[in-house]
Structure 1
Amino acid sequence: MDSTPERSGSTQFGSGTPAAAQAGATTALRRTVLVVAAINAAYFVVEVAVALAIGSVALLADSVDFLEDTAVNLLIALALGWSLAARARVGRVLALVILLPAAAVVVQVVLKVGDPEAPAVAPLVLAAAGAALVNLVCALLLARIRAAGGSMVGAAWYAARNDVIINLAIIAMGFLTLLVGTGWPDIVLGVLIIVLNGRAALLVWRLAGEESLAARALAGEDLDDD
């Protein structure tokens, strides 16, 4: 006799409620970004080892990108469920995080200019191909939740997408190195990586700004005064 009300209560307050649905969506988002973070951390170890072994500036910069992406996705996991204003602040922090690999590339480019030795091509191409596959998987995973995640997931998606482009460019640079026999293609690609990271940071910063404006609008602030 008492079981019917209990089932009714479960329907009313269980997984079918908006609050429960929101909690489930947040859990799914967090699970996805944690998986992406783990994938990036694992391949960082692989790629940085290859980069140091063969002396490739571009590959080293790309390995730092994997470390950056790990940090970005871990931050997203912590921030999911926060208010729009808090998410906008985190989004701007992530935009700055995206620029970190650029600093490492600048240092390596300066060092490489003094000794433009060509990196070993075979391990470079193999490592870059593996990185492209890893980043493509991450980009596809993040694309599925990008709309629900706002600027934070947008940060991770932009980074993964740009990393695929970088990986393909590294592969092309490897074959070009076979033709020219010097490390100058490696140096040039390092500069291009700086540009790509800067553009990604700008796009994420703009997304965070949009969320900040949305948060202020919800709070009833007059945006016409800006």
Structure 2
Amino acid sequence: MHEGCMTTPAPTESCALARGCCGHQVRFDGASPAYRRVLMAVIALNLGGFFAVAAGGLMQGSAALAANAMDFLADSATYAVSLWAIGKSVRVRSGAAVFKSASLLVMAVSILGYAVWRAVTGQPPEGVVITGLGLVGFAANLIAALLLVRFRDGDANVRSVWLCTRNDLIHSLGVAAAGGLVWLTGSRWPDLLAGLLLGGVFLQSAISILVQARAESRAAHAAARTL
């Protein structure tokens, strides 16, 4: 990175969000008041979504709703980690991204395991309730995505927030669609398949975030050795 960028106390968003700054590749690290405010709003949205969807998931025994509720809760925690990591060293930010990758991996395995367990033991949940809560979750996630879209290109820590939010949109639509199919068919399988598919989405994102975080950590170590 150009020395002029490194010595600037707080780079402007127009510079930080650009693909190049001072003629060099730059990844936005979240160090702006606007991003912090957006992240706090998104954390509040996810906590609200968790309480709303978790209540319905517990009552209905829905794999899709349970996955959605876990998603909201995990995102609230990982976004708080992102907020804490802003302004820290590359090593710390990469470590935060690795933590979030691990949380996505745990969530993916939990969702897949719960879906399999429900396939063996569960009864069909109420499709209308699943669809309604899926749409509630979609609305919350859409607001979060609109707030975050201008920050989607950044370092592993920032990018992981965007990927989680994007996954949430996909997840909520999948939940709503699964509820409609449960209502039409009277079968629990659409709900279970939605849980399995969305668990796969989280698994892919966990791997993507981990790969980027490790690459950034190696680059930081290489740069430090050249000083």
Shorter-chain TM-score range: 0.7 to 0.9
The structure-2 alpha-carbon separation of the partners of 1:68 and 1:208, relative to structure 1 and needing over 3 Å to count, comes to: same
Cα deviation, residue 107, structure 1? 3.6
Gaps of 5+ in 2: 1-6, 14-29
Amino acid paired to 2:116: V
1:180 alignment partner in structure 2 = 185
Q: Quick check: 1:19 aligned with 2:9?
A: yes
Q: Quick check: 1:131 aligned with 2:121?
A: no
Amino acid paired to 1:84: V
Q: Quick check: 1:140 aligned with 2:146?
A: yes
Decide whether the 8 Å contact of 2:151 with 2:162 is kept in 1.
no
Amino acid paired to 2:201: L
Decide whether the 8 Å contact of 2:31 with 2:86 is kept in 1.
no
Question: 1: distance between equivalents of 2:220 and 2:143?
Answer: 32
Work out the number of aligned pairs and report it: 205
Query: TM-score of the superposition, structure 2-length normalised?
Result: 0.82
Decide whether the 8 Å contact of 2:129 with 2:179 is kept in 1.
no
State the identity %: 32
What is the RMSD of the two structures over their aligned residues, measured on CA atoms?
2.2
Query: TM-score of the superposition, structure 1-length normalised?
Result: 0.83
Cα deviation, residue 20, structure 1? 4.8
Decide whether the 8 Å contact of 2:10 with 2:32 is kept in 1.
no
Question: 1: distance between equivalents of 2:12 and 2:181?
Answer: 50
1:203 alignment partner in structure 2 = 208
User: Which of 80, 85, 89 pairs up with 1:83?
Assistant: 89
2:103 alignment partner in structure 1 = 97
Cα deviation, residue 146, structure 1? 3.0
The structure-2 alpha-carbon separation of the partners of 1:195 and 1:32, relative to structure 1 and needing over 3 Å to count, comes to: same
Question: 2: distance between equivalents of 1:116 and 1:180?
Answer: 16
Decide whether the 8 Å contact of 1:84 with 1:214 is kept in 2.
no
Amino acid paired to 2:166: R
Decide whether the 8 Å contact of 2:130 with 2:178 is kept in 1.
no
Decide whether the 8 Å contact of 2:67 with 2:111 is kept in 1.
yes
The structure-2 alpha-carbon separation of the partners of 1:153 and 1:66, relative to structure 1 and needing over 3 Å to count, comes to: same
Decide whether the 8 Å contact of 1:57 with 1:186 is kept in 2.
yes
If each structure's helix is expressed as a fraction of its own residues, which one has the higher value? 1
Question: 1: distance between equivalents of 2:185 and 2:129?
Answer: 18
1:66 alignment partner in structure 2 = 72
Question: 2: distance between equivalents of 1:52 and 1:65?
Answer: 15
1:165 alignment partner in structure 2 = 170
Amino acid paired to 1:18: T
